Structure 1
């Protein structure tokens, strides 16, 4: 998130400075604690993850988290889209239920919730 540009980048930088108390937030102890990726262990609960192919957080957060969870043998269900998928799926794509990808993600999440609560 530290590489965000424009107005979004400015907002991200201001928020992370506020959250961490440091202008150099990326190397702060607080920033290291903010990422779930660095906090998971074998007792992490079963997890459903998704990310759009145009969401920059998918590559740096969601996919690495899914990989780490699989390595820890945590039950993880994931819905990711290939780089060339069209239309491109931005952050929070799953809330645009008029799209096929959002409906697919919703059904996957419901199936996962049903499976893990039975």
Structure 2
């Protein structure tokens, strides 16, 4: 009787674990949509921002896996990834639009 309950519970847990994995494409699209709206970006700029963000989230996912057992190194690598992303965004959008984005985020915290 216990086996009848335990096996479905294990299967449910495993399926939930698979779906709980972060999806870099969705995360990149979500933040790109916000940036596009906040800065009124055209399609080309929006696509470029999406590509930068997608790379960021894929790299972060790799860092999370690779350094799962080394929290200090993971923190350092994630910070470096964030700095690299910021610099790419600043190089593409420019200082003024990055300031607009920072102001938007500051004023629209939830």
Higher helix share: 2
TM-score scaled by length of structure 1: 0.29
TM-score scaled by length of structure 2: 0.30
* Structure index of larger Rg: 2
Higher relative contact order (CA 8 A, sep 6+): 2
Higher strand share: 1
